[in-house]
């Protein structure tokens, strides 16, 4: 075989490999999608991360809590099932996934992030615990996104008091 013919065969093989590589890279399943699009697909399990900032409102005599959503993001994946809240245990905060009509699809308990329980080694070389009340504290909530979710609300209240909504995140 001549050198020119071998070069033509090698160039053809190289072009075919390049064409296959481009075709595979541009396949719709390989393209990055926007988080909003991932959440709309019912077949892709998605984890939603909500980053909040909790602040104790000391101006209010009832010492209410203000909550601001700092950011949110999504990732494909599935969370382990959450542990159930033991009967009789009051939870101060709830994250609720709601449908378009406002009905609760899922209600997830959230410990008060302003109450930090620390464990440390005391002067007597024994472990001790201390509870610190914070003026403000960030909290990240991970939850499994459910199909049909249109709003996510952060609510406060126990079983003995009326629930009030602190923050609402709308799914576009």
Cα R_g (the chain), whole angstroms: 26
- Write out the residue range of the structural domain in which residue 5 sits: 1-31
CATH number at residue 163: 2.60.40
* 65 and 147, same domain (yes or no): yes
pTM for this structure? 0.62
The verdict on 78 and 162 lying in the same domain is yes
Strands 104-110 and 93-98: antiparallel
Contact predicate 150/103, CB 8 Å: no
Which position has the token pair 């909003």? 36
Number of domains within the chain: 2
Alpha helices in 41-89 (DSSP H): none
Cβ atoms of residues 75 and 47 within 8 Å: yes
Same domain for 69 and 21: no
Same domain for 58 and 137: yes
Per-residue pLDDT of the chain (172 residues; tens, 9 = 90+): 677 787 778 777 876 766 676 766 655 444 443 444 444 445 788 898 999 998 987 655 456 788 888 898 989 998 887 666 655 555 678 888 999 998 988 888 888 888 888 898 888 989 989 998 888 989 998 988 888 899 998 888 765 566 777 778 787 6
């Amino acid at each position: 075989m001549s050198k020119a013919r071998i070069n033509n065969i090698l160039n053809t093989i190289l072009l075919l490999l390049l064409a296959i590589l481009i075709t595979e890279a541009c396949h719709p399943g390989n393209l990055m999608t926007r988080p909003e699009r991932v959440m709309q697909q019912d077949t892709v399990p998605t984890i939603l991360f909500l980053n909040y900032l909790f602040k104790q409102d000391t101006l209010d005599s009832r010492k209410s809590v203000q909550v601001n959503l700092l950011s949110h993001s999504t990732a494909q994946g599935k969370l382990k099932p959450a542990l159930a809240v033991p009967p009789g245990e009051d939870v101060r905060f709830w994250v609720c996934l709601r449908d378009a009509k406002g009905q609760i699809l899922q209600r997830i308990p959230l410990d008060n992030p302003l109450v930090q329980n620390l464990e440390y080694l005391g002067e007597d070389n024994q472990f001790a615990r201390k509870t610190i009340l914070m003026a403000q504290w960030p909290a990240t909530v991970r939850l499994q996104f459910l199909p049909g979710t249109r709003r996510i609300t952060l609510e406060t209240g126990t079983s003995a008091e009326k629930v009030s909504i602190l923050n609402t995140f709308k799914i576009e």
